[in-house]
Amino acid sequence: MPSVGTDTKSERQRSGSRELDRSGSSPRDVNILGGPSLPSNGDAEQGLIAACILDQTGETTSMCAEKGLQPEHFYSP
């Protein structure tokens, strides 16, 4: 098995249309239009959800709602 970041485009195509993210550390699915998936940061997303849950004043949740944050904005493998 090739090391991460060394596979070629043709190898990615044969392995189910997978593409490496910019850091080369983890594969991401290619979207329907053939481009790479949108950037995501799991730690930041988990941190935001935790902040909303732990915020007793509701300020964080209100800020997220004001900015139009939707469930679709979070990465889902």
Residue 31 lies in a domain: no
Asked if residue 56 is part of any domain, the answer here is yes
- How many domains in the chain? 1
pLDDT value, residue 76: 77
pLDDT of residue 43: 94
What's the predicted TM-score (pTM) here?
0.49
Report if residue 47 sits inside a domain.
Answer: yes
Per-residue pLDDT at 37:
75
Is the residue at 32 inside a domain? Answer: no
Question: For residue 49, what are the domain limits?
Answer: 42-69
Residue 27: inside a domain: no
Q: Please list, in sequence order, all residues whose beta carbon lies within 8 angstroms of the beta carbon of residue 3, skipping any fewer than 6 positions away.
A: none
pLDDT 10s digits, 2-47: 444 454 454 444 444 444 445 554 455 555 667 777 788 999 999 9
The answer to whether residue 50 sits within a structural domain is: yes
d(CA 31, CA 55): 35
pLDDT digits (tens, 9 = 90+) for 39-77: 889 999 999 999 999 999 999 999 999 999 998 888 877
Is residue 54 included in any domain, yes or no? yes
